[in-house]
Amino acid sequence: MLRLPKAVRFLNLTTVPAPAPAVFPPLPGPTPLSDLQREVLELKRKADAVILAHNYQCEDIQGVADFVGDSLGLAYKAAETRASTIVFCGVHFMAETAKIVNPGRRVLLPDLEAGCSLADSCPAERLAQVKAENPGLAVVAYINCSAAVKALADVICTSGNASRIVERIPADREILFVPDQNLGQWVSQRTGRRMRLWPGSCYAHVQFTPTALLRAKALHPGAPVVAHPECTEAVRGLADEVCSTELMVAWARRQVSPTLIVTTESGMIHRLRREVPDKTFVAAPTDRCSCNECRYMKMNTLAKLRDCLANGGPEITLDEGIRAAAEVPLRRMLEWSK
Ligand code: SF4
Residue nearest to atom 2 of ligand 1 (CA): 202
Residue nearest to atom 3 of ligand 1 (CA): 202
pLDDT along the chain (338 residues), means of 10: 39 56 92 96 97 97 96 84 94 96 96 97 98 97 98 96 96 97 98 98 97 96 98 98 96 98 97 97 94 95 98 97 97 88
Collapse the DSSP code of 192 into the 3-class scheme (helix H, G, I; strand E, B; otherwise coil) and give the result: coil
pLDDT at 73: 87
Q: What are phi and psi of 138, to 5 degrees?
A: -100, 120
Rounded to the nearest angstrom, the distance between the alpha carbon of 96 and the centre of ligand 1 is 15
Mutate to test the pocket of ligand 1, among 56, 291, 294 (most ligand atoms within 8 A of CB): 294
pLDDT at 333: 94
In sequence order, what are the beta bridge partners of 259? 280
Within 6 Å (CB) of ligand 1, which residues are found?
Answer: 56, 91, 116-118, 144, 202-205, 265, 294, 296-297
Q: Are strands 175-178 and 106-108 parallel, antiparallel or unpaired?
A: unpaired
Q: Measured over all CA atoms, what is the biggest interatomic distance in the chain, rounded to whole angstroms?
A: 60
Rounded to the nearest angstrom, the distance between the alpha carbon of 180 and the centre of ligand 1 is 11
Rounded to the nearest angstrom, the distance between the alpha carbon of 56 and the centre of ligand 1 is 9
pLDDT at 81: 84
Atom number, ligand 1, closest to the C-alpha of residue 93: 5
pLDDT at 158: 95
- Tell me which amino acid residue 127 is: L
Report the 10 Å Cβ neighbour count for 280.
15
Q: How far apart are CA 53 and CA 58, in angstroms?
A: 9
Residue nearest to atom 8 of ligand 1 (CA): 116
Rounded to the nearest angstrom, the distance between the alpha carbon of 15 and the centre of ligand 1 is 31
Rounded to the nearest angstrom, the distance between the alpha carbon of 118 and the centre of ligand 1 is 6
Mutate to test the pocket of ligand 1, among 89, 116, 245, 268 (most ligand atoms within 8 A of CB): 116
Contacts 24+ apart (CB under 8 A), 59-63: 59/31, 59/267, 59/270, 60/34, 60/36, 60/302, 61/89, 61/300, 61/301, 61/302, 61/305, 62/267, 62/270, 62/271, 62/274, 63/31, 63/33, 63/37
pLDDT at 13: 39
Rounded to the nearest angstrom, the distance between the alpha carbon of 119 and the centre of ligand 1 is 8
Mutate to test the pocket of ligand 1, among 296, 298, 299, 300 (most ligand atoms within 8 A of CB): 296
List, in order, residues 6 or more apart from 317 with CB less than 8 Å away: 99
CB 142 within 8 A of CB 178: yes
pLDDT at 17: 62
pLDDT at 262: 98
Residue nearest to atom 1 of ligand 1 (CA): 294
Atom number, ligand 1, closest to the C-alpha of residue 205: 2
Collapse the DSSP code of 109 into the 3-class scheme (helix H, G, I; strand E, B; otherwise coil) and give the result: coil
